[in-house]
Amino acid sequence: VENNDTVLAQELVNPLHNADIADLFELIGEDERAPLAEALGDLVSADVLAEMNDYVREDLIEVLDAGQIADLTEQLDTDDAVAIIEDLEDHEQLAVLAELEPEDRAAIESALTYEEETAGRIMQREFVAVPEHMMVGDLIDYLRKNDDLTTEFWEIYVVDPAYKPVGTCQLSWIMRVPRDIAVADIMKREQTLIPADMDQEEVALRFQKYNLISAAVINDDGRLIGMITVDDILHIVEDEASEDVLLLSGAGEGDINEPIRDSYVARVRWLIANLATALVASFVIWTFGAAIEQMVALAVLMPIVASIGGNAGTQTMAVSVRALAMNELTRSNTRRIIGREFRIALLNGGTIAVLVGIGTGLVFANPLLGIVIAVAMLINIVIAGFAGIFVPVTLDRMDQDPALASSVFVTMITDTMGFLAFLSLAVGSGLVNF
Amino acid sequence: VENNDTVLAQELVNPLHNADIADLFELIGEDERAPLAEALGDLVSADVLAEMNDYVREDLIEVLDAGQIADLTEQLDTDDAVAIIEDLEDHEQLAVLAELEPEDRAAIESALTYEEETAGRIMQREFVAVPEHMMVGDLIDYLRKNDDLTTEFWEIYVVDPAYKPVGTCQLSWIMRVPRDIAVADIMKREQTLIPADMDQEEVALRFQKYNLISAAVINDDGRLIGMITVDDILHIVEDEASEDVLLLSGAGEGDINEPIRDSYVARVRWLIANLATALVASFVIWTFGAAIEQMVALAVLMPIVASIGGNAGTQTMAVSVRALAMNELTRSNTRRIIGREFRIALLNGGTIAVLVGIGTGLVFANPLLGIVIAVAMLINIVIAGFAGIFVPVTLDRMDQDPALASSVFVTMITDTMGFLAFLSLAVGSGLVNF
């Protein structure tokens, strides 16, 4: 479509929602994006850019100069503007900031003083705050008169003279009472205030737990400085939850629009780490080389012990990582959860041990080999259960992301212990002489 | 605290938010829950139950009779009431429905006619809908007069005489215009309507994509029948995203409050499936038994080839599963993504092949063995890249959840192909005679 007829392309794209136009850019190949942007012209508005994937947006913005970027960001709320500017190189950031109107520049510079992924970065500075004594009627008149207020708000904040939030009022509550009621009489005093330096994952958990639509952000002095709305939180919840699946596998950001070189660097690191841990398992096998030479069936069966142990460990680990992320696994119930996983491991281990033991005994016509692999299987699945909890919990206590690297450690433990249990039992039981 | 002093317990819990009281029940052990509920009495309100984990709530509700459950659910919006009632056994469900007021019963029965996890189940039937010609002033008066409207709404829906939605109006827009403007003049006509039978995951994607706060649910005739609000979507996004991490590992629901027997059944199924696929890999090794007897180093190195291949496959799989869940991987860009993963696999495979090849050649003082493992490694990582895309994409095309079982298939492929490539190259290169 886009290689010849710009008028047709514009007509096709015009009725689409901004988010759909952004999607279109994400779907097509890298080399087609610049021509499409050119063909669409003004249809690629600031709002379309705000909806776009970071990597795709960077591609498009690269060709713009600082003045053009500044013009685009001035049309957005602070949170969206910050999201675009924070991804720029340092010198570009300075150039764009210099082009902004003083007021916008101050807002964005102050947002950039907070760490990435904190409340201060994701909040918007456009919100409605009113004093306690205000009447509902006056509030409605105030809203009607002030054209420069933010267009999207769902709750208003009631503040004391020091600009500290004392309550929150849903718009629906305001519309349902007569004009002569004070906002202080209908507001909810029980509030969830968000400190500006709170991690965005923690902010998202608050929104989920208390079913919030918006929340007031306060600075160190407790003064109201911004607002976070639930639509931004929706993206954070999605990102943080899918981060786990990607971190566990060591796939980096896992964005399909990430440059190949970045994906390579992110992934190969974990493959090399995996290589190092696989060496430990190989070393165990090496020390039992003579046993394997005597009975090659051991080499045939080894992968079964390791593979099922690894799977059992991954199951427990997935459960622990989720529970940690949801704040459901805390110091107070760790012991109960360990007991729970231990019992599940015994049941799973028992079942698999019986199946594998009988199968092996029959196929190899060797009952002792069946018993050896059954016991090794049970031991490895129980170890897997403990490893699946201890590794993520330990990482969490060390203030690391429990999803990161858990997988590599757990698999190393189950591989190594599986081989060790199986081969040493084979030797210890007299199945092979060593 | 709770074993002796009910007054103290009530005093401690009283200032807590409903969600925090629910959390308290989730944190303590199963046998402590009933006594705590008794001690707290009325503090365990319907809203507390609505915030509670399904399994924990079932524990508590079991001791109540149908009349008590009916009283509790009548205090809730339909979506929360349905969430409680849908988890009951069939005969309990009928008993509770019989105890409900006719109007509530009709609403809940109609919700139960929709499949679980569809829009019809999660919507609430309490919403505000007004005709197009209504003036803003009349609307405000209408809201002020009607006490039995739902308390929580953020947008009102404008409907035509056939009760079909024609527009949506944010409350903030209504408050910012004079009383003599028609709602039709300020409403947004571009709407995202949700059919009642739409899957909740799809609904959540719409909310994320279009930054919705609430959305109108329509029946087959296009008539407005309910409303979904973003606070419910937040929980669905979290659940669906974390489902992937748990499904990939075969850990079932992965809820730490799930009864042990359910967890055992969910997990052991996948371990048995894994056992079946591990047998395929073992069979490959078996056919090369003579080669391993000749050179035990092959058995020592096998796990390295399989383990790193498995990790590479899991990385690609995690990326594909997320992209599929987010609707980012579609028929139109599958080829581009395959090309992308192929190039990453070549880079990763090349790097690991060189490291492993040189290391092996030196340690075993056998350059040919180094070349054999390097080539096998490269082949396996490239196969892993393809398997990591094809398995989830194929499951998706077959209308299965791509996360379910992907892991078992991908690992089977990387294990089997890794052993096959490594051992057959060892034989083919003349490293061992076979």
For residue B27, give the nearest of A238, A277, A333 by CB distance. Answer: A333
Q: How confident is the model at residue B111 (pLDDT cuts 50, 70, 90)?
A: confident
Comparing alpha-carbon positions, the chain B residue that sits nearest to A270 is: B311
Smallest Cα distance from B234 to chain A, Å: 6
Note the pLDDT of residue A235.
Answer: 85
Task: Please identify which residue in the block is written with the tokens 């009113």.
Answer: A130
Check A304 against B282: CB less than 8 A apart: yes
**Which ranges in A14-115 belong to alpha helices (H)?**
18-27, 30-40, 46-51, 54-61, 66-74, 78-85, 90-99, 102-112
Give chain A positions within 8 Å (CB) of B277: 307
Give chain B positions within 8 Å (CB) of A289: 296-297, 299-300
Q: How confident is the model at residue A356 (pLDDT cuts 50, 70, 90)?
A: very high
Handedness of CA A196, A200, A204, A206 (dihedral sign): negative
Check A351 against B271: CB less than 8 A apart: yes
Average pLDDT over residues A402-428: 90
The answer to whether residue B3 scores a pLDDT higher than 60 is: no
Note the pLDDT of residue A4.
Answer: 61
* pLDDT tens per residue across span B319-333: 898 888 888 888 888
Smallest Cα distance from A430 to chain B, Å: 20
With beta carbons less than 8 A apart as the criterion, state whether A372 and A425 touch. Answer: yes
The residue ranges of every structural domain in chain A are 6-116, 129-231, 259-428
Average pLDDT over residues B96-119: 88
Q: Measure the CA–CA gap between B73 and B229, rounded to whole angstroms.
A: 19
Comparing alpha-carbon positions, the chain B residue that sits nearest to A307 is: B278
| Residue B90 token pair | 């069939």
Average pLDDT over residues B257-266: 87
Any idea which fold B259-428 has? Answer: Tetracycline Repressor; domain 2 (1.10.357)
Give chain A positions within 8 Å (CB) of B23: 209
Q: Best mutation site among A30, A140, A172, A404 for testing chain B: the one with the most B CBs within 10 Å? A: A172
* pLDDT tens per residue across span A357-387: 999 999 999 999 999 999 999 999 999 999 9
* pLDDT tens per residue across span B28-84: 877 788 888 877 777 788 888 888 888 888 888 877 888 888 888 888 888 888 888
Any idea which fold B129-242 has? Answer: CBS-domain (3.10.580)
Note the pLDDT of residue B240.
Answer: 78
B264 — alpha (psi -120 to 50), left (phi > 0) or beta?
A: alpha
For residue B274, give the nearest of A251, A299, A308 by CB distance. Answer: A308
Note the pLDDT of residue A138.
Answer: 92
For residue A17, give the nearest of B210, B249, B270 by CB distance. Answer: B210
Any idea which fold A6-116 has? Answer: MgtE N-terminal fold (1.25.60)
Of B160 and B15, the structure prediction assigns the larger pLDDT to B160
Mean pLDDT of chain A: 88
Note the pLDDT of residue B348.
Answer: 95
Q: Measure the CA–CA gap between A305 and A310, rounded to whole angstroms.
A: 9
Q: Give B127's DSSP letter.
A: -
* pLDDT tens per residue across span A308-322: 999 999 999 988 988
The answer to whether residue B196 scores a pLDDT higher than 90 is: yes
- C-alpha B52, offset from chain centre: 18
For residue B52, give the nearest of B266, B201, B257 by alpha carbon.
Answer: B257
Handedness of CA B389, B392, B394, B399 (dihedral sign): negative
Note the pLDDT of residue A357.
Answer: 96
* pLDDT tens per residue across span A157-196: 999 999 999 999 999 888 888 889 999 999 998 889 999 9
Give chain B positions within 8 Å (CB) of A140: 175
With beta carbons less than 8 A apart as the criterion, state whether A67 and A95 touch. Answer: no
Q: What are phi and psi of A165, to 5 degrees?
A: -65, 130
Average pLDDT over residues A42-69: 82
Q: How confident is the model at residue A98 (pLDDT cuts 50, 70, 90)?
A: confident
The answer to whether residue A117 scores a pLDDT higher than 70 is: yes
Comparing alpha-carbon positions, the chain B residue that sits nearest to A139 is: B175
The answer to whether residue B423 scores a pLDDT higher than 90 is: yes
The DSSP bridge pattern shows strands A165-170 and B165-170 to be unpaired
Q: Which amino acid is at A16?
A: L
Note the pLDDT of residue B2.
Answer: 52
Give chain A positions within 8 Å (CB) of B27: 330, 332-333
Check A302 against B307: CB less than 8 A apart: no
Check A344 against B209: CB less than 8 A apart: no
* pLDDT tens per residue across span B204-235: 989 988 889 999 999 999 999 999 999 889 88
Give chain A positions within 8 Å (CB) of B374: none
Class of the CATH domain delimited by A129-231 = alpha beta
Q: Which amino acid is at B397?
A: R
The answer to whether residue A3 scores a pLDDT higher than 60 is: no
Q: How confident is the model at residue A1 (pLDDT cuts 50, 70, 90)?
A: low
Q: Best mutation site among B296, B340, B354, B389 for testing chain A: the one with the most A CBs within 10 Å? A: B296
Note the pLDDT of residue B345.
Answer: 95
The answer to whether residue B15 scores a pLDDT higher than 60 is: yes
Of A14 and A373, the structure prediction assigns the larger pLDDT to A373
| Residue B227 token pair | 């409303």
Containing H/E element for B130? strand B129-131
| Residue A414 token pair | 């189950």
Smallest Cα distance from A306 to chain B, Å: 9
For residue B175, give the nearest of A143, A241, A248 by CB distance. Answer: A143
Average pLDDT over residues B7-20: 79
